[in-house]
Structure 1
Amino acid sequence: MMASLGLLRSRTLSGFNDMPADDWHRRKQYFETPERKSVAFVDSGGNGPALLMLHGFSDTSRSFAALERFFPDFRVIVPDFPGHGSSALDGGVRIEDFAASIDRLLESLGLSRISVVGHSMGAMTAIELAARRRDGVSALILLSGSLRPDFGAESPLARDIRALRDPIDPSGQFLRDWYACSRPVDSGFLSKMKLDAAAMPAATWHGILDGFGETDLRCSAARVTAPVLCIAGSADPLFGGSHQEALGHAFQTVRSIRLEGCGHNPHWEYPERVSALISAFLAETARI
């Protein structure tokens, strides 16, 4: 299986040497597809059950750096989506494209049974992945998710994204607003997230935005058989009450938790609390 789907290796690939050479980046391994496209991921190497974590739009695996340490009893797998961070763009940038890429990565790692945590775009991808792997997902945890993420073609956010041009300024107003949080988050961490996001070409930003306008995950959600936990902030400026309510009615088995005063990034704003909620849910579902 490994030989047919690609090669795993623990070195930085040429073409990605401009990425920040910090400890998180140095931990990345690479899966190479038959088309010689590389998907980067961090693997905690734990001996326990596999826990996949999927990041949001313009983020990278670094998004979950603060959560990984709370799950020592799991094998935590955290990939960079294609076109993000150290992963090469491999085909399209729709949710189904990202799900297909992650599915190939899991197959290459020989992981047939996983739990999945997804944030924002990663939550959407997690829904699609769980619909594809109906018997292979033990639990699904959605942070700030949405079934229909269209921002609206004429919304201020959509216009700002369409106005992006290369090179993107990591200290510019757009990324300052994009990474604004409802409560204090480590400034060094946010600076690295902005550098990662600025390295993503403007065309990829535009393509993902187009894909959001066409995304409707209601049918995929109906196919999910795993128990679902939805965690969202009451002050989420992107996916507020209507998105949260739709998720709360979309799955066969679902529990919804609303964090008062929290914004779009609960795992950054409340990492210990969110980790505790995820851990409790995983322990509960493991007993089912």
Structure 2
Amino acid sequence: MTTISVKTASLRDGPVLPYAEAGYGGTPVVFVHAIADSWWSFEPMLRRLPVSLHGYAPTQRGHGDAERRPDEGYRPEDFAADLVGFLDAVGIERAVLVGASSGGVAARMVAGSHPDRILGLVLLGAPATLADKPAVARVWEEIQGLADPVSREFVDGFMGGLTARPIARGLLETMTEENLKVPAHVWKETMRGLMEADLPATLAGILVPTLVVWGDQDDFLPRADQQAVLDAVHGSRLLVYEGVGHAVHWEQPDRVVADVAEFAGSVLR
């Protein structure tokens, strides 16, 4: 298994972000986590990286052990700016971006605005829009009522809807603890930014090769939502994981790593 090193990146005019790095000399791949997660969300994948990939997984501002900011600064464009700053800070000229769930929003914004820095884009259960989705509306209502300290009961319920089948107990416990580190205001402002953003507009102008991965048991995103991504991003293609829920990279890390490696190889040919 690949060794993981945990480091920190100081962004110019931005926060200090911890990040995990695995592999050396392969194609740079930057993994972008979802709301309330951290680099640990990709630990199973980083352990499995082939020699063809060099993985980086930053923890976003306000999350995990990353630097906290005031009540504002947690909108998709803020996270996207941090991603570009991260590429600069660690010296990555061009990379494949892999965005999971809401992390896919910031990833695709960078792919659209900085195509010269992006070799390709992989979206793992990333929404085309959050409008007209009852499960998302319920989560947003609960998040608006959060207060510090965020309760384990809320986090357990939130995480319980992300997978269609049990995942490794160690990963579940780790991600629960990482979610509990996130202050209530970061939960609220991050989710508010997603709910208020024009998410379909963030799909416009993406010209880099794009792979969409979706579990057909995703309780948050119906097939029609992912079709909207395909319709908006010219040349994108869809991989459907049957019997898998929203967090495809938690349920089937081996398969996701293999598909990312194949995709990364294809964009270099």
Structure 2 length-normalised TM: 0.90
Q: What one-letter code is carried by the residue in structure 1 that aligns with 2:59? A: D
1:212-271 alpha-carbon deviations (Å, 9 max, x no partner): 121223333221111110001111112222321111111122001121221111111111
- Hey, what does 2:45 align to over in structure 1? 67
Assess if the C-alpha contact under 8 Å between 1:153 and 1:159 holds in 2: no
1:78-227 maps to which residues of 2 (within 5 A)? 78-90=57-69, 92-150=73-131, 155-170=137-152, 172=153, 174-180=154-160, 181-227=163-209
Larger radius of gyration: 1
* Residue-by-residue CA offset, 1:93-149 (whole Å, 9 max, x unaligned): 111100101111111222111111110111111100111211221111000011323
Matched residues in 1 for 2:231 and 2:261: separation? 23
CA contact (8 A) 2:61 2:67 kept: yes
Cα separation, 1, equivalents of 2:14 and 2:236: 39
Residue 167 of structure 1 deviates from its aligned partner by: 0.9
* Residue number in structure 1 paired with 2:240: 258
CA contact (8 A) 2:11 2:82 kept: no
Matched, 1:43 2:43: no
Distance in 2 (CA, whole Å) between partners of 1:278 and 1:175 is 29
Inter-CA distance 52–153: structure 2 relative to 1 (3 Å threshold): closer
Amino acid paired to 1:30: T
- Whether contact under 8 Å (1:37, 1:88) holds in the other structure is yes
Task: Tell me the percent identity.
Answer: 27
Matching residue's letter, 1:214: E
Cα distance in 2, alignment partners of residues 217 and 154 from structure 1:
14
Q: Which deviates further from its counterpart, 210-219 or 90-99?
A: 210-219
Give deviations 1:21-76, integer Å, cap 9, x for gaps: xx97xx42112245573111112251122110111111101111111123332221
Higher relative contact order (CA 8 A, sep 6+): 2
Mapped pair 1:279 → 2:252: no
Residue in 2 that maps onto 1:243: 225
Contact 2:27 2:264 survives alignment (8 Å) = no
Q: Given that residues 116 and 140 in structure 1 are in contact (C-alpha distance below 8 angstroms), is that contact kept between their aligned partners in structure 2?
A: yes
- Check conservation: 2:121, 2:208, Cα contact below 8 A: yes
Deviations, residues 163-206 of structure 1 (Å, cap 9, x unaligned): 22211233x2x222221221120112111101110110011111
| 8 Å Cα contact 1:147-1:216 kept in structure 2 | no
Supply the AA of the counterpart residue of 1:177: G
SS in 1 for 2:204: helix
Runs ≥4 residues deviating over 6 A: none
RMSD: 2.1
Can you give the 5+ residue segments of structure 2 that lack an aligned partner in the other structure?
Answer: none
